[in-house]
Structure 1
Amino acid sequence: MKIRIGYGWDSHAFKPGVPLRIGGLAIEHPEGLAGHSDGDVLLHAITDALLGAVAAGDIGSFFPPGDPRWKGADSAIFLNIALEEIQNAGYRIANVDTTLVLAAPRIGPIAGEMRERVASLLDIPLGDISIKAKTPEGLGLDHVAQAHATVLLERVEESDDLKVLHAEIGEEIPVSAGEIDELLGELGGSSPKPAIKKPAYDTEDFT
């Protein structure tokens, strides 16, 4: 399969006395988002979408919420692990589409800055990341922030030169003993001498 799709969703309640971080940005607001890490609901949703696209599990399987190592951790760490997973699977990001659902703060005035930050974290062009915001009208979720993320991955195709190199490495290339001696000499070593099998009897003792 040359393309894969991943979907991620996350939700955090607002909590007084903690800083608010969304999309890798510190945002001025009376309350932050409760969570074991920094509570960055948008980066968490993107992380789950990336992991899901390559069937690598979810954010909780890599970073259990009960593990003290991730208390207050920067969610960019989680994102980096997800990026490693998709690279190891042979894919790269084609585009990311996200939607934030929250009553406040207003995302519109900072959406451009947030896009730039997320694009930088993902190492993708700005045009490949979309961040939209909606209010939870009629849902009774004014004290909660939610994030939805969808990612499209495309398989990384090897260049023709790299394919040729891999084919050559995979072939059995005969090497002479003289070439081995020459190579080892250049490296400051010497080729191993073949073991001489002694006969079962003493050839000097014929009677």
Structure 2
Amino acid sequence: MNIRIGYGWDSHAFKPGVPLKIGGLAIDHPEGLAGHSDGDVLLHAITDALLGAVSAGDIGSFFPPGDPRWKNADSSIFLNLALEEIQNAGYRIVNIDTTLVLAAPKIGPLAADLRERVADLLDVEPSNVGIKAKSPEGLNLDHVAQAHAVVLLEKVENPEELRSMSDVIESQKQLEDVVKDLVSQVHGVEPRRVLKPVFDTEDIT
């Protein structure tokens, strides 16, 4: 099959005293999203959509919420893992469409910046990223943020066209080694040589 579709969904409650991060973008707001990691509901949904498209499980399969290594972790780490998975399966992203459901903050004024940031993380053109928002009117969910994501992938016939998608997050080379070790474990291949991390795995931020 040359085309695959993936769907992802996630939700997090708002919590005072934590920073708000959506789509890899820091947003000025009185409350952030509660979660074991940084609570980035949009990146979590996109990650699950990518993993689901290539039948690679879900975000919890790779990053259990009880694992202290992922406490306060940047959700771009999870997204990077999903990009590695679709590359290993021989696919690339055609386009992605997302919908945020939340009462505040208003996403309209932020949509262009969110689109640029998500496109950068996925290494696609902004025109291939859809960012929409809806109010949870009548759902009694004013203190919750939800995200839906749908992704379309296409098979890459020439393997040379696939470059390592881990290059997208250039500032997290040590974390990429963690991601690739996880991939090797899942696929039952010999794991990479373990490097001593230069960061505290108990507090990845």
TM-score bucket of the superposed structures, by smaller chain:
0.7 to 0.9
CA-CA distance at 1:158 after TM superposition: 1.4
In the alignment, the residues of structure 2 paired with residue 90 and residue 10 of structure 1 have an alpha-carbon distance, to the nearest angstrom, of 26
Partner of residue 102, structure 2? 102
In the alignment, residue 129 of structure 1 is paired with which amino acid? Answer: V
Matches within 5 A, 1:1-207: 1-158=1-158
In the alignment, residue 143 of structure 2 is paired with which amino acid? Answer: H
Q: Secondary structure at the match of 2:140?
A: coil
In the alignment, the residues of structure 1 paired with residue 22 and residue 127 of structure 2 have an alpha-carbon distance, to the nearest angstrom, of 19
In the alignment, the residues of structure 1 paired with residue 158 and residue 28 of structure 2 have an alpha-carbon distance, to the nearest angstrom, of 45
Partner of residue 174, structure 2? none
Partner of residue 180, structure 1? none
CA-CA distance at 1:3 after TM superposition: 0.2
**Uncovered stretches (5+) of structure 2, i.e. residues with no partner:** 161-205
Question: What CA deviation, in whole Å up to 9, does each residue of 1:24-55 have, x standing for no partner?
Answer: 00000000000000000000000000000000
Q: Which has the higher contact order (CA 8 A, sep 6+)?
A: 2
Question: What CA deviation, in whole Å up to 9, does each residue of 1:173-200 have, x standing for no partner?
Answer: xxxxxxxxxxxxxxxxxxxxxxxxxxxx
Runs of 4+ residues deviating >3 angstroms: none
In the alignment, the residues of structure 2 paired with residue 158 and residue 29 of structure 1 have an alpha-carbon distance, to the nearest angstrom, of 45
CA-CA distance at 1:19 after TM superposition: 0.2
Q: Secondary structure at the match of 1:132?
A: strand
CA-CA distance at 1:118 after TM superposition: 0.2
**Uncovered stretches (5+) of structure 1, i.e. residues with no partner:** 163-207
CA-CA distance at 1:119 after TM superposition: 0.1
What RMSD, in angstroms, separates the aligned Cα atoms of the two structures?
0.9
Partner of residue 189, structure 2? none
In the alignment, the residues of structure 2 paired with residue 136 and residue 75 of structure 1 have an alpha-carbon distance, to the nearest angstrom, of 24
